Homo-oligomer: A and B are copies of this chain.
């Protein structure tokens, strides 16, 4: 499985965010997307998901355009954006259940409870998420990662609002996913040491380009 990006150009309003962007991502690889605020990271991630339409260039999954693959591609994809995509009126468990069901599989409530416990929400599973703190809400969204079967994770600033312990936990989760043959693309402004697996770096903005692989 490969994600291949060829000569991508994105325009927002009347500003060109980036152009001629090409890279490829293999299994067991992790792509760190860097760039200042407003350099187009979120836009790139959303384009990779098919939520935003590029001006030029192709995005290929195993050599086929993601537009053509459509739901076959989305089957392999897990995207987590700036928003948590959880419903404030539902409990943590209900949110997680619905999100995984919609993702296309049903791990059962036991697995879900375990995932919530693992992410540090023990005792909060039955609270409406409205009553959780900012970081706890983020954790509810992130719990999906623990029960996901998708190959490609696209995470937009996943570490935001998390405390130190949770950041470390999440690092391990991502590393484990990549090691197990997954792929991940993520952006973050925090310095997060991600050691295992092959880490690629891509910089958007003034000095756009693929940096040295770690």
A residues at B contact (CB < 8 Å): 12-13, 35-42, 82, 120, 124, 127, 131-136, 138-139, 157, 160-167, 189-190
Contacts and interface: CB of A to CB of B under 8 A. Distances in A.
| Consensus secondary structure, chain A interface | loop
A163 B36 contact: yes
Contact of A162 (B35, B124, B127, B189): B189
A165 B136 CA distance: 27
Given A42-B133, A131-B13, A134-B42, A37 B161 contact: yes
Given A12-B131, A82-B134, A133-B42, A37 B189 contact: no
Which of the listed residues A134, A138, A164 has the most CB atoms from chain B within 10 Å of its own CB? A134
B131 A37 contact: no
A139 B165 CA distance: 27
Contacts of A82: 134, 161
Contacts of A124: 38
Contact of A37 (B35, B39, B163): B163
A157 B24 CA distance: 35
Contacts of A37: 120, 133-136, 138-139, 161-163, 166
